[in-house]
Amino acid sequence: MTDMTDIISNFKSNGQAHIFTHFDKLDKVTQDLLIAQASSIDLDEIAALHQTLIARRSEATTMSLDGLEPADFIPLPHADAGRIREWCEATAIGEAALRAGRLAAFTVAGGQGTRLGFDGPKGTFGVTPVLKKPLFQVFAEKILAARRRYDHNIPWYLMTSVLNHSETVSFFEQNDYFGLPADQVHFFSQGFLPAIDSEGRILMSAPGEIALSPDGHGGALRALVRSGSIARMESEGTDLISYFQVDNPLVRCLDPAFIGFHLQRDSEMSSKMVLKSNPEEKVGVFCEQNGKCVVVEYSDLPESFTQARNPDGSLRFASGSIAIHLLNRDFVKRLGGNDGEAKLPFHLAHKKVPHLTEDGSLHTPDSPNAWKFEMFVFDALPFAKNPLVIETSRADEFSPVKNADGVDSPLTSHQDQLRQFTRWLREVGVELEADESGLPRVNFEISPLFADTAERFQKAWKNLAFKPKIGTGVIII
Ligand code: UTP
């Protein structure tokens, strides 16, 4: 009882008394849930965030661009014999690490996916051209294929949020973990913060419920530690974490070349980049500043930088971040622990959040009314020893599902998958009619269990006793 009284009076003395306006009318279970939610909120942290990020936002200086240079990166080998050798060496090192069981796959799936507007965790959204396999299944099959190829357990960690945890776990249970051993798939929920209005008042989504939102993909570092995942990795001998987002079906979940370069250069955090498609593309850019690797958000990069060109005419700040990283387990432990050497900064997002008004009715706003706070995983880069950026091909590895339509939508991702499958088939001599963008006239798909890269496709195709004729609806498994 004292606890409950203390919590309520703490909220009252911090200007948040409205949280408990309807408390006496709630049933006991809802009261307990509200108290549990309230007790997990650090009111000092919220007040400080309001003060520094919102109340004084007009004074907020934009990030300093002093000494900002494009970050170095390892380019794709293309036809350069020396580079091809380097990539082959890196691949061999990465494959050895996979065979030794040093890798864990890690998906951040705690986002709300508001832009897609799909009712359910984004990972349950169907993306493949014919079967409409959900994103989770695509990743599961890539991990399953890697387990078979390297003949070793590869645990898969998934970060969910308080808003989608149980739905995500049930989805895996209902689908038998898509063929992966259940004890190798680990879920944990990330941290959260309340949404607040411009005056710093915490918003309620129902009389007994605070409007909570996840603390951003950067919350992964502390959630990996708090959930015991890092301790589990230590006990299992997994020391490298292959990080990817839930929205990109083309991602190579466990890329030996990437792993090999990361190990060769003794990096604590490595990242993949693609060349920006145009100066205005809305992706963060890898830069170097005062000897540190940083990602500068597109909104922070002035036009003089986004438009800057090299003498050969190419874009100067061209390294687009695609949110694929490798993290050393001990680096995550160092940053994500309670006494972590560094706290990642919070960024502000202004969003539409349905909330209770003073008269107790639910208001659904049609313009942004609330502030949310998020950490970004790439803010860990400046703390990493020997951070490394390597290039990958956009066509082969990046086609996220972000929006309901237009760019980065289910349609563009579907088409990019088809183009990739068509390139693989053409490389083994199969003739397929396609338009000038490489999009075939027929709709088919290739399972990640058959192949998930061009090289693997070539091998698997060669071994096929009976070669299917590609037409609409064909599925190569
Ligand atoms: P996005 O930046 O695309 O955000 O997340 P989102 O919340 O999924 O989608 P919108 O902006 O509401 O439309 C990029 C990746 O980071 C994960 C997402 O699940 C996605 O894989 N993420 C994002 C988290 O895991 N937690 C978060 O708090 C935010």
Query: Residue 386: is its pLDDT beyond 70?
Result: yes
Mean pLDDT of 107-122: 96
Mutate to test the pocket of ligand 1, among 115, 213, 217 (most ligand atoms within 8 A of CB): 217
101 C-alpha to ligand 1 centroid (Å): 29
pLDDT tens digits, residue range 425-435?
Answer: 999 999 999 99
Distance from the alpha carbon of residue 216 to the mean position of ligand 1, in angstroms = 7
Residues in CB range of 312: below 8 A, 6 or more apart: none
pLDDT band at 59, cuts 50/70/90? low
Ligand 1 geometric centre to CA of 190 (Å):
12
Q: Is the pLDDT higher at 57 or at 350?
A: 350
Measure Cα distances from 292 to 213, 250, 387 in Å: 30, 29, 8
Dist CA 462 CA 459 (whole Å): 5
Sequence ranges of the domains in the chain: 40-407, 409-477
Q: Which residues are near ligand 1 (CB < 6 Å)? A: 108-115, 122, 159, 161, 190, 214-217, 219, 245-247, 374, 402
Closest ligand 1 atom, residue 159 Cα? 25
Q: What is the DSSP string of 28-54?
A: HHHHHHHHHHHHT--HHHHHHHIIIII
- The pLDDT value recorded for residue 3 is 86
Pocket residue to mutate for ligand 1, from 246, 353, 413, most atoms within 8 A of Cβ? 246
- The arithmetic mean of pLDDT across residues 392-401, rounded, is 98
Phi then psi for residue 288, to 5 deg, are: -120, 135
- Residue 63's pLDDT is 79
- Is the distance from CB of 422 to CB of 303 less than 8 angstroms? no
Please tell me whether the overall predicted TM-score, pTM, comes out greater than 0.85 for this model. Answer: yes
Q: Is the confidence at residue 60, as pLDDT, over 90?
A: no
For residue range 7-16, list pLDDT tens digits in order: 999 999 999 9
Strands 445-446 and 475-476 turn out to be parallel
The predicted pLDDT at position 340 comes to 60
* Ligand 1 center from residue 55 Cα (angstroms): 26
Q: What is the pLDDT of residue 277?
A: 94
* Reported confidence tier of residue 57, pLDDT bands at 50, 70, 90: confident
Q: Which of the residue ranges 301-310, 352-361, 380-389 would you say has the lowest mean pLDDT? A: 352-361
81's CB contacts (< 8 A; 6+ apart) are none
Can you tell me which atom of ligand 1 is nearest the CA of 374? 28
Whose alpha carbon is nearest atom 7 of ligand 1? 111
Nearest-angstrom CA–CA distance, 461 and 10: 66
More reliable by pLDDT, 22 or 62: 22
Tens-digit pLDDT profile for residues 322-336: 999 999 999 999 999
pLDDT surpassing 70 at residue 22: yes
pLDDT recorded at residue 56: 75
Tokens of 172: 């895996």
Instruction: Supply the residue whose CA is at minimum distance from atom 4 of ligand 1.
Output: 111
**214 C-alpha vs ligand 1 centroid, how far in Å?**
9
Lowest-confidence region among 51-65, 256-270, 301-315 = 51-65
- Could you say which of 3.90.550.10, 3.40.50.2000, 3.20.20.70, 3.20.20.150 is the CATH number of the domain covering 40-407? 3.90.550.10
Please spell the DSSP secondary structure of 377-443, one letter per residue: GGGGGGGSSS-EEEE--HHHH-----SSSSTTSHHHHHHHHHHHHHHHHHHTT----B-TTS-BSS-
Amino acid at 166: S
CB 244 within 8 A of CB 253: yes
Distance CA 99, CA 93 (A): 10
- The neighbouring-strand residues paired with 192 are 214
CA of 45 to the centre of ligand 1 (A): 22
Task: Please say whether the beta carbons of 144 and 191 come within 8 A.
Answer: no
Tokens of 356: 């209770």
In this predicted structure, the answer to whether residue 2 has a pLDDT above a threshold of 70 is no
CB 300 within 8 A of CB 63: yes
> Cα of 411 to ligand 1 centre, how many Å?
19
Helix axes 28-39 and 2-13, enclosed angle (nearest 10): 60
Nearest CA to ligand 1 atom 18: 111
What is the dihedral angle through the alpha carbons of 61, 67, 70, 73, rounded to the nearest 10 degrees?
-120
Q: How confident is the model at residue 341 (pLDDT cuts 50, 70, 90)?
A: low
Give the count of beta carbons closer than 10 Å to the beta carbon of residue 345: 12
| pLDDT value at residue 64 | 86
Q: What percent of the chain has pLDDT over 70?
A: 98
What pLDDT, in 10s, does the model give residues 168-223?
A: 999 999 999 999 999 999 999 999 999 999 999 999 999 999 999 999 999 999 99
Q: What is the mean pLDDT of residues 447-460?
A: 98
List, in sequence order, every beta strand (DSSP E) within 66-129.
Answer: 69-70, 103-108
Residue nearest to atom 16 of ligand 1 (CA): 217
Q: How far is the CA of 52 from the centre of ligand 1 (A)?
A: 24
The pLDDT assigned to 342 comes to: 66
- 61, pLDDT greater than 70: no
What's residue 11's pLDDT? 96
Helix axes of 410-427 and 454-462: crossing angle, nearest 10 degrees? 50
Residue whose CA is at the smallest distance from ligand 1 atom 15 = 245
Taking CA atoms only, the protein residue closest to ligand 1 atom 14 is: 245
Mutational pocket test of ligand 1: of 106, 107, 108, 124, the residue with most ligand atoms within 8 Å of the beta carbon:
108
Counted residue by residue, the chain has a size of 477
Pairing of β 319-328 and β 69-70: unpaired
* Pocket perturbation via mutation, ligand 1, pick of 157, 188, 247, 321 by most ligand atoms within 8 A of CB: 247
The rounded Å distance from CA 113 to ligand 1 centre is 6
Task: Please tell me the distance between residue 189's alpha carbon and the centre of ligand 1 in angstroms.
Answer: 13
User: What are the beta bridge partners of residue 321?
Assistant: 273
Distance 438 CA to ligand 1 centre (A): 30
Q: How confident is the model at residue 459 (pLDDT cuts 50, 70, 90)?
A: very high
What digits encode the pLDDT tens for the residues 399-412?
A: 999 999 999 999 99
Q: Find the 351 Cα to ligand 1 centroid distance in Å.
A: 14
Nearest CA to ligand 1 atom 10: 113
Mean pLDDT score of the chain, rounded to an integer? 95
